[in-house]
Chains A and B, each alone.
Chain A
Amino acid sequence: MTKIKNIFLIFTVFIFGSFSLMAKTQLTVYTAVEAEDLKKYAATFNEDHPDIEINWVRDSTGIITAKLLAEKNNPQADIIWGLAGTSAMLMKSEGMFEPYAPKGLENLDPKFRDSANPPAWTGMDAWVAAVCVNTIEAENYGLPMPSSWEDLTDPVYEGHVAMPNPNSSGTGFLDVSSWLQIFGEDGGWAYMDRLHKNISHYTHSGSKPCKQAAAGEVPIGVSFAFRGARSKEAGAPIEIIVPAEGVGWEMEATAIIKGTSNLEAAKTLADWSISRKAMEMYNDAYAVVGMPGVAKPVKHFPEGLLEAMIKNDFEYAAQNRKDILAEWQRRYDSKSEPKS
């Protein structure tokens, strides 16, 4: 009996022991930054601030946003670092952020900050929509190289295009909101109606269409430029296309969660997140960063990408997010219903 008690005790200590605090300040950071970059982000930050340990919670934009909203009354995160700007605006309207003006705020492009003072969030960089085309598979199926969004509605591509579902993917949402801005509200939905006929499937994540294109699972994936560049680097036979009408883009943002118990550490990270060093780090993968004059061209990025970025109305996107998503779901989310 006592033996069993002891074993029980040891296990209990073991379980709770693993949650016990360590000497460093632990900062829980929610993010949608690509998984392969997280180690680098934390390591670079720790070069300047070794006393703060980052615990990442990483998921796709929709999931992280849902998680944050779910935990609204009992936040688990201390700070978000690398979450879609429209999600940040949504959360700001729910009063979930601790407004804070990080050091060096004045160096930021005004587009890359919340207009309130002090701002609820600050921007880091922007990711840009692009289309990944698998050249080998395109040839197999005899597909011409598309050069515009409109091209993708050509019946020749029927069943050969994948795109992210805007309901779960931030990239998917930026695609949809950009089409609504490029073609106008009615034109945008009409465009998506035509595009929908060619869509093979909608994915939950924004990088998946491009990764699937890279693996030949689908010839064409609507995704974002950074993902395409990475896959190309990995040896995938893909071409990154910048549609002629212009491309949607979205920024990634940093914001401190209201009620965090690690406010000082969170502020330190917020300061660092808009520092020049951070901007240079973002620039490894992102062609556009929040601080003007820092960005250098990124390997494998298609030409003319920056010029093609549309004048994105984030307020419009954030305010109408819910209606747009509902309308999208009503129209397209039941694609493979049996014909009845």
Chain B
Amino acid sequence: MKKSRDDYLTLFFISIIGIYIFIALAFPMYAILSKSFENKDGAFIGFENYQSYFENSSLVYSIYNSLFISIVTMVITISLAFVFAYALTKSRMAGKGMFRSIAMIPILVPSLLSGISLIYLFGKQGIFRELLMGYEIYGPIGIIIAEVFYTFPHALLIIVTALSIGDARLYEAAKVLRSKSIRTFFTVTLPSAKYGVISAAFVVFTLVITDFGIPKVIGGNYNVLAVDVYKQVIGQQNFEMGAVVSMVLVFPALIAFAVDRIVQRKQVAILTSRSVVHEPNESKTFDRVMFGYCSVISVLILTILGMCLYASLVTFWPYNLTLSLKNYQFDLMDGGGWDSYYNSIRMASYTAFFGTIVVFAGAYFVEKSRGLKTGRSILHLLSMMPMAIPGLVLGLAYIFFFNHPDNPLNFLYGTMAILVICTITHFYTVSHLTGLTSLKQIDNEFEHVSSSLKQPFYKTFFRVTVPISLPAIFEIGIYFFVNAMTTVSAVVFLYSSKTTLASVAVLNMDDAGDIAPAAAMGMMIFYTNAAVRIVYVIITKKILVRFQNWRTKTS
């Protein structure tokens, strides 16, 4: 069969996106992998670095610590988030919208802000330090509390989705068979949400084991893998060992990712076209209990945020509690001053703009283009990879790859562009999945019809696909923006004098002991993200209605 112009164009665009992903992901990862087998002069030395790594007991201990923190956080977060999600989906309590919004707050702040807040709450000068009964907040306790705060909304989102697909017909059957509600829970609710819970568990595990901000701020002397990478590179200038620890860190993340993928494949469609959406029955006692539970969690989240707000306004904690804006004079502190804040906004805007284009186009070709089956599945596989790669590792890989003098892309090093590329890559997978999900909802008939009408695919793309997918496109955009504002790990090795970032400034100010200004900068990030989020809600509610009218029945 003769190839049409469309086929060539498709091939061309797939290749461009493929090349992009190779440059932004595959080559840097290869660079860091090979670095871990080299000595300082760049000669290949096999497993020597790994051998000396495993002979260093304090480094190896970090593996246990990392696993311990990740598993404990996983259990706590999933339990808390499950009940919260259960309340949101299976009860008729009041204030669901409010609880949902409050639960999403941690997504809008850099992860380490919760660590800073805990220092003010439970540190040596903390307001509630008696509650710890003599235990120290610096160490595993502090890390776990902060990580639970940070991962809670991520787990909640997944579990809410899983719980809301329960088929009402099953509940009816259970009722007819006079099953007790506890039995219904174990035989109907839990099985249908099983895969969601497992998925959430792995997401939490990966987030925690790869997070570096929280243990850095509140870990005290408790070493974890992610901080080890930082210390090896920053403290000892030992890049080869940093590469080794990175590889050790990638390992559990990869396993978690692979297991999750396998489990997800087993999931059969629970929600079929005949499913009926389950409407919870009214039960006053149950609703009250759930309302109480959600209130407690919400108050805890608001306390952590509120403490940061207060701390950022106090003149000199704890000896001078008058309120002032002194801590917002960022130009006098480490981290690049107010420029960092504006840089972050620029970086987040570019990431949102270009990231959405790249990701949506990529998802479109994976899902909608015809032919090139192998090419498309390779593209899909590569798009799923970034999920398993810790930001810190990605950032380090970028140094090795882009700062190599023989690399023709060397000019990117130290620019805003490399930060944008790195951030897009770091958050690629979730956006890719959002794009795919939305595209799957669009009937392929559109493509078939347009192709039989001899219309080039891009016309269909711009006239049908994009308008229909606008909600998903906006969602991808805001996801990129918010994460670009808060990310630390991926960019901490890559910023330069002209591209200091607000999130990195939080880290550096805390590092220098300027903890109140760090809280202040964290709050600036929160305000920005919250404002963008509100604008997004208004846009989706008001403007998108025009494009999305067809979704609501008119009859």
User: Chain A residues in contact with chain B, CB under 8 A?
Assistant: 1, 8, 11, 15, 18-19, 28, 35-36, 39, 55-60, 62-63, 65-66, 69-71, 73-74, 76, 136-137, 165, 167-168, 201-205, 207-212, 215-218, 234-237, 325, 329-330, 333-337
Contact = CB atoms under 8 A, between A and B. Distances in A.
Nearest to A71: B403
B513 A203 contact: yes
Nearest to B458: A1
A216 B125 contact: yes
B316 A236 contact: yes
Contacts of B124: 137, 216-218
A75 to B, nearest CB: 10
Contact of B403 (A74, A202, A236): A74
B413 A168 contact: no
Contacts of B267: none
Closest 6 CB pairs of A and B: A211-B513, A334-B58, A208-B513, A167-B235, A168-B235, A335-B221
B353 interface: yes
A234 B416 contact: no
A65 B233 CA distance: 10
Interface in B369-419: 399, 403-405, 410, 413-417
A217 B405 contact: no
Given A62-B234, A74-B413, A334-B57, A215 B239 contact: no
Given A39-B331, A330-B58, A11 B353 contact: yes
A251 to B, nearest CB: 20
A57 B497 contact: yes
Interface of B: 56-58, 61, 119, 123-125, 138-139, 216, 220-223, 231, 233-237, 239, 316-320, 331-335, 346, 350, 353-354, 357, 399, 403-405, 410, 413-417, 420, 458, 462, 496-498, 508, 511-515
B58 A55 contact: no
A2 B353 CA distance: 17
Contacts of A167: 231, 235-236
B10 to A, nearest CB: 17
Contacts of B514: 211
Contacts of A208: 511-513
Given A36-B332, A168-B234, A11 B125 contact: no
A215 B511 contact: no
21 contacts: A19-B416, A28-B497, A36-B333, A55-B498, A60-B512, A63-B234, A66-B237, A70-B237, A73-B405, A74-B413, A76-B414, A167-B235, A168-B234, A203-B513, A207-B513, A211-B512, A211-B514, A215-B317, A217-B124, A235-B316, A334-B61
A215 B57 contact: no
B462 A1 contact: yes
A212 B316 contact: no
Given A66-B234, A236-B319, A329-B58, A205 B512 contact: yes
Contacts of B357: 8
B221 A336 contact: yes
Contacts of B462: 1
Nearest to B495: A57
Given A19-B415, A329-B58, A70 B497 contact: no
Nearest to B216: A204
B319 A55 contact: no
A66 B319 contact: no
B332 to A, nearest CB: 4
Contacts of A218: 124
B220 A337 contact: no
Contacts of B319: 136, 216, 235-237
Contacts of B216: 204
Nearest to A218: B124
B491 to A, nearest CB: 14
Nearest to B333: A35
A313 to B, nearest CB: 22
B236 A325 contact: yes
Contacts of B496: 57, 76
Contacts of B404: 73-74
Nearest to A167: B235
Contacts of B235: 62, 66, 165, 167-168, 204, 325
A212 B334 contact: no
Contacts of A137: 124
Contacts of A337: 58, 61
A333 B320 contact: no
Given A167-B235, A201-B138, 11 more contacts: A15-B416, A18-B346, A36-B332, A59-B334, A60-B511, A62-B235, A66-B237, A73-B403, A216-B319, A218-B124, A334-B223
A105 to B, nearest CB: 28
Nearest to A55: B497
A66 B496 CA distance: 14
B405 A336 contact: no
B319 to A, nearest CB: 6
A35 B138 contact: no
B117 to A, nearest CB: 14
A336 B139 contact: yes
A311 to B, nearest CB: 27
B215 to A, nearest CB: 12
A70 B28 CA distance: 15
Contacts of A60: 511-512
A302 to B, nearest CB: 20
